[in-house]
Each structure stands twice: as C-alpha cells, then as structure tokens.
Structure 1
Amino acid sequence: MTDIVGVSVLPEAHFACQGTGMCCQGYQFGPIDDDVAARILAHPFVENAARIAAAGGPFTTAEVHGEPMRVLSRVNGRCVFLADDGLCVVHKELGAEAKPALCRLYPLNVAVAPDGVAYVSLNMECAGYAQGRQGPPLVDTVEAHLDLVGTLPTLAVPAQVPVTFERAFPYEDVFDAFEAPALEDLDATRDPLALVADLCGRLLGDGPHAEPWDDWPARLPAALTRLAGRVAWRAREVAREEAAAGDPVDADLNRQVAALAEAATHDAALQALPAEGAEILREHLQQVVFGKALHKAPTLAAGVGFEAVRIWLLHTGAPLADAAAVVGRLRALNRVLRPSDLAGVGPDFAPRCEELCEALASR
C-alpha cells in the first residue's frame, strides 16, 4: 500500500449522520482493532446484553477477501450493538470514541492514488442521505478525524490503469484526461442520464457530446435488456442465499433490485426523477468519480458502463415521489450492484458493460 502523503475531499460535499441505524444491518463490521476490542470486552453492557450473549459474544471471525478478520457479531443481519431504537449501545454506554473507526466514520470511503493522495468520498449507501446532505462540509469531518482516516479499509489505485480489457495507461494520464475533466462536467447542472453518456465520451470518445444525450436508454434497448436480465437473475439468487443465511436486510435489498431489473426487461419507459432527486444523483456520480469507485471494476470502461446500468435501473419501476425515495432506491442499487463484483453477475458481464460504454461514447 502506498503511504498517504495528503488527503483530498470534494469541497462541495456535505454530510451529517441521521441515526437511521440502517448502516448497522447487513454489513460485515470490521476489522476491529485490539484497543477497541479490549474496551468493548471489558465493559458489562446492560442494553442488548441478551442479544450479545445469544450471538456468542460481541465478536466473531469472518473471511473477508480470503483473509480472516475480527468483526462485530450479528443476529439476523443486525449488529449485536444495534438497539431497538436504532441507536448504538456502544455509543450509549461508552461514548462515540469507543466505537470502531468504520462505525464512527461511516459512510466514508478511502482510495489512495499512486502519488499517495487519499481521496475521501461518501459511498452513497446511507439511508439518511436525503437529510444528511444538508449537514456540515465533509472536509470539516475529515479534518477532525484525520487520525482515523488511515485506519479505514482502503482501495489502492494501480499505477497502470486498465481503461479497457486491451489498453492500460498510467494513472496520471487517466486522471488528467478523464477524472479531472469529468468532475468539471459533473459540476454542470445537466440531466444525469446525459452526464453518464458524457463520462463515456470522456473515457473512450472525443469528449462530452455537443448535445445532451439523455434518451440513450431508448436507443439501446437490446443491450440494456440483456444486462438487466443478468442483474435480475443474480439478485434473485443472492436474495435466496441471504434469506437462508438469516439476513433479511440484504435479502430484501436484492429482491428490490431484482424487481427493478425484471421490470426493465419488459418496459423501457423511464421515470423522471424529482428535482432534488436529480441533484442527488449528480452528487452520487461526483462521489463515484472523485472517490475512484470506477477503479474497482475490471476496467474503467466496464465500470462506467456498469454505472450506466445502475442509473438506468434507478429510472425504471414505480415513480419516485421525493428525495428520500430516490435515496432509498439508490441505496439498494449501490448495495447490491458493486463494481468490484461484476464477475459475480456473470463471466461476460464486465465485457458487456464495456461494450455499453463504447456504444455511449460513439453514439
């Protein structure tokens, strides 16, 4: 891992935790360092004591990316410290600083570029983001917790970036030619669907399209329907697996995404987003590009094509009435469909996503 020599945060990003408790369900909560574990083990918790005992203690070991990791125990997908009122028992009885770093700093993501700059972003899976985005500047939160940022799970961006399955370029060239100008494009108030097409044009074409291309889903029905069918099948399979494993939260999120994808295979009609929802989606795209999330895909082109699929699915299904509904659907799509797991959808899913990006770039 490259040593961190600096930290960068989107200056326009804002966030404040809303205490929904939804981030305490469905995840593997770790790694837990020794100091945090020792303090938790030494405290005789009153609230949730029965739940902690039923789980066999506050911690367990899980395999994450092939390595054993100490994580917080769960019962039915819920952290054992999540109280019935949706608040954290560790926070209540020991204070905020006793919680693991990833709990204190959720929903922050950290990606370290080859030059040592750590890019801190929001993962946009937060159920309270519709209200949380009105909070203080994210840069203030990061500056107040700089000592913890380096302890979070971190994405290491490679020095040679695979833009397609056939071409790779130095990270610096990709940043200058794609990421930096793409963020400038995203500062503009344009339709999010057009902005996705512009990302593809930046990456594989001659730049953003002269005319906003916000009707591309209607022009690419065969390619999108094929991809949606793969998503629906995978989400249904995972929903069954999560339900059998006793995780109703992730099972329900996968069922939501499966229903969206199945609807999309039969009806290509798009639903307009409410005004604030379109702004939230633009912020989502900013976080994806700035936070290097596209680098989690096998190639950048596959990542951008995959992002197009997620945003297309966001516009399908029942109309979304308000910002909270947009955040709820975006949360499900981000939680279930991750750029790091394209192979899980199918062995040729990533190449098909790359082909979609090429089609959007070439019009």
Structure 2
Amino acid sequence: MKHTFYLLISIAFIISCADNKTKTKSAQDSTAEIAVDYKGTASITQGIATTTAEDIYTCERGRKTDVGEITSTDGKKWVVPAATNYTNTTFPFAADLFNSCEEKKYASPQEALSAIGTPNTIEIDEDGDVFTAYIFADNYFEMYVNGVAVGKDKVPFTEFNSSVVSFKVQKPFTIAMKLVDWEEHLGVGCEANRGKDFHAGDGGMVAVIKDTENNIIATTDEKWKAQTYYTAPITDLSCVSEDGAYRYSENCDTSGGQDGSEFYALHWELPNDWMKTDFDDTNWPNASTYTNSTIGVNNKPAYTNFTSIFDDAKDDAQFIWSTNVVLDNEVLVRYTIN
C-alpha cells in the first residue's frame, strides 16, 4: 500500500513539474515571439493594467479618471496612462477658461477673464515680464517654463475644458509640456466609443501665449518639438518602426475592437531633465500639426467659445502632437520663445 501511495505521489510530482515546465516554456515562447516581432527600443506590455487609483477627479458627465500600473516583458513597471503631478499639491492648477464640470461655462474670453480676475502668476524671474498662455488639451497637460511648474490641467479626461496659465519670466524662455491622452481601459490606450468597447482615443493640444499688451508672442505650430513615450493600442508589433529618435506607428491599425486583452503597448522612459532649459531636444521630431476637424473640436464650447484666441485671423494656432495623434498617448513638447 505504501509503495502504491509513493508511486502516486511521484507521478503527481512529475506531472506537476511537466505542467510547470510547459507553462514556463509557453511564457518564454510568448516573450520570444514578441522579441521577434518587435525591433525597436521600447519596453512592451500586453493587456490591461492593474488599477492603482480610482477617480482622481470626478465630473458628473465625465469619464473615469483612473490610474494603473503594468509590468513590461523586461520587468519594468509603468504607470498608465502616465505618471503625472495631478495629485501633487505643490504643482499649481491652471485657471479655468472653460470648465463645465465646475459650471464655469463662459461664453467668451472677456467673460472668462472677468470671472478669473487677477490670475495666480507664477514668478520665475523677479524682473521678468508677465505672459499668459491659453490652452486647450485633449486631454491633460502639465506646463513648465524654464523648468518651473506653472500650471496643470484641472480636468484629466472629460468633459473637455480649456485653461489659462500666467507666469513672469525674462526672455528667452523655454516652455515644456507633458501631454496625456487619458484612457478608460488602462494600459491599452482605449475607451468605449463609437460602438466599440476598445476604441483608440486621440490627443491634440493647442496653445496661444500673449504678453500684457494682448499681443500674441507664440502659438503652437510645427516649429515645436514633440516626442512620444507611450503608444497604444498596438495589435501587430511589426507595424511600428524607428529611425533615430523618430518613433513611427502610422502603419498600425487604429480600428480597436470589443476585446483589448491581447493589445500591446510601447513604453519609453522619460528623460529626467526634459523640462529644463538646457535639455537637448535637437534630435526630437518637430511637432505634427492637425486641423480642428481632425481633433474634433468644432462641437466643443471649451474651444469654440474662444476661437478669437485660438483661431486668430492673423496668427492661427495649430493643434500639435507627435506623429500619431491616435495611438501616441503620452507626449512631451518643447519650444523656446526668444
């Protein structure tokens, strides 16, 4: 009887080991397949991230603003849709040009600026001049001037809003912004939309910077620099390519679907000093520009109520992003104003 018992235990142990080896081999094969398909410099994740924070901002008609974490095939952990300063109380919020989540539904720049009154001006240089930035971001931004945090978006996701940031600085100065296309399905760059549970959302940001005389001194255009650091959803890793610092995904499918559990994402680590004045962005691509209709703002009062600013007849600001406004979800942009 004892011999039979030991025999059964031995058989069970052998089967268990074989099963574990099969699972290990399967995981290794999966990783090997990814390595074969992908030739770039990014870390790769697949599937949905684990939610680590829920509803960092709530809006009655807005989408959920969750944050998650996911581990890539090389063992690195990534915050999705991005590691932001939204809950950092030392990073100032921008003033509201339009924010329906908080019933600030201003019909014109004059009404908005009257309601704002004297904005909170972030002082960078005591003997500098005051400048004002007007920003519409799809969805979220954090703005630095000469490496100093000057304003972040009040609404991480939706409803769509627009913002005002005031700062005091000497020329020349460098604007650096983190832009995030937020996501409902963490880790795969998707939201429920247009009849699909996993629809790839799009980004886009437009900004106008004025002096105290209301003169436009800069607008977003193709002269800005832009680099992507999180691209998803990717259904076929062979669709992406790189050329130096250029990260391309224009050949990738953007149709989404009803199940994103097999979707991939590409992640790159952000440089530590990307917001600093002396950061070298010369090898970054120039920003790609997009029309109002491509971004889809013609029915959004956070934009249309302020076209006298954003679509100035003499200096029309352009929506900018990286090379793929649909798949690139975390983008850094920079520009120096002389």
Query: Shorter-chain TM-score: which interval?
Result: under 0.3
Q: TM-score, normalised by structure 1?
A: 0.24
Q: Which has the larger radius of gyration?
A: 2
More strand by share: 2
Q: TM-score, normalised by structure 2?
A: 0.26
